[in-house]
Amino acid sequence: MWLNTKYRSKEVEIMDDLDITGDLLIKSLDKLAQINKWLGGNRVTLKGIKHLLEKKHQRREITICDLGCGNGAMLRELAKFGRKSGFKFRLIGIDANQTTINYARDSSLQFPEISYEKQDVLSPDFPTNNFDIALCTLFLHHFEDKVALDFLKKTQSQTTIGLVINDLHRHSFAYFLFWIVATIIGNPIIKTDGLISILRGFKRKELEEYSAKLNFESSLTWRWAFRYEWIIKK
């Protein structure tokens, strides 16, 4: 039951192939969103957003961008929260896979405050976009350290309020816990990518080193199940 998690893995996930399509991708996106909800991931992101929105005027439109939005589940949760709490949100989902964007758009027809765009966040054109808040839910771990640092620096400069990062704590127990869950589910993409994701996740010290290098005002909190909530303020 012991696994060496000292260093971040550089193994590539199946869904890092931006041209992947098909029913298995759609089923995997839905199941990943469901697992994230089961394990409290949506609550972690929502807590971070609520923290950034403290004392913000509800009459002002607030633009929130979800980077690597998947099937759009988090944005739909945000739309419901905005309607319930009186915030006027403009919600944007960004993903580099066209099949993913099409599916997220079709799944969000009841939420006119949500729009989706196919974009590569690492392309030279992406920094021309500006938002109030940027979300990175289970997204940052896809990048190696230098790329992640550059990405965070650019993204922070694009926001007026801040960033909410929700990503995985690299831990052997988290790996074996997910292995059990994924085995029960029986989806090959979920199992392979989920386990790689954990091994590409972070230790607290690594995120603290990121923060020190970038000189951001931020707070880092461990949350169940084995993830970090990292709130970066302007």
Q: DSSP per residue over 182-193, as a string?
A: HHHH--HHHHHH
- 187 phi, psi to nearest 5 deg: -95, 120
Q: Which amino acid is at 133?
A: I
155: left (phi over 0), alpha (psi -120 to 50) or beta: alpha
Q: How many CA atoms lie within 13 A of 63 on its CB side?
A: 14
∠ Cα 76 80 81 (to 5°): 115
What whole-number distance in Å separates Cα of residue 44 and Cα of residue 219?
13
pLDDT, residue 1, reads 56
Query: Helix, strand or coil for residue 64?
Result: strand
225: cis peptide before it, omega within 30°?
Answer: yes
Q: How far apart are CA 179 and CA 191, in angstroms?
A: 7
At 31-85, the pLDDT tens digits run: 999 998 888 889 999 999 999 999 777 778 999 999 999 999 999 999 999 999 9
Distance CA 231, CA 234 (A): 10
pTM for the model stands at 0.94
Give the number of other CB atoms < 10 A from CB of residue 126.
17
- DSSP-derived letter for residue 20 is -
Per CATH, the number for 21-233 is 3.40.50.150
By three-state DSSP, how is residue 69 classified?
coil
Assigned token pair, 132: 């109030």
pLDDT tens, residue order, the chain (234 aa): 579 999 999 999 999 998 899 999 999 999 999 998 888 889 999 999 999 999 777 778 999 999 999 999 999 999 999 999 999 999 999 999 999 999 999 999 999 999 999 999 998 888 788 999 999 999 999 999 999 999 999 999 999 999 999 999 999 999 999 999 889 888 999 999 999 999 999 999 999 999 999 988 899 999 999 999 999 998
Give the whole-angstrom CA distance, residue 30 versus residue 28: 5
- Give SS3 for 57: coil
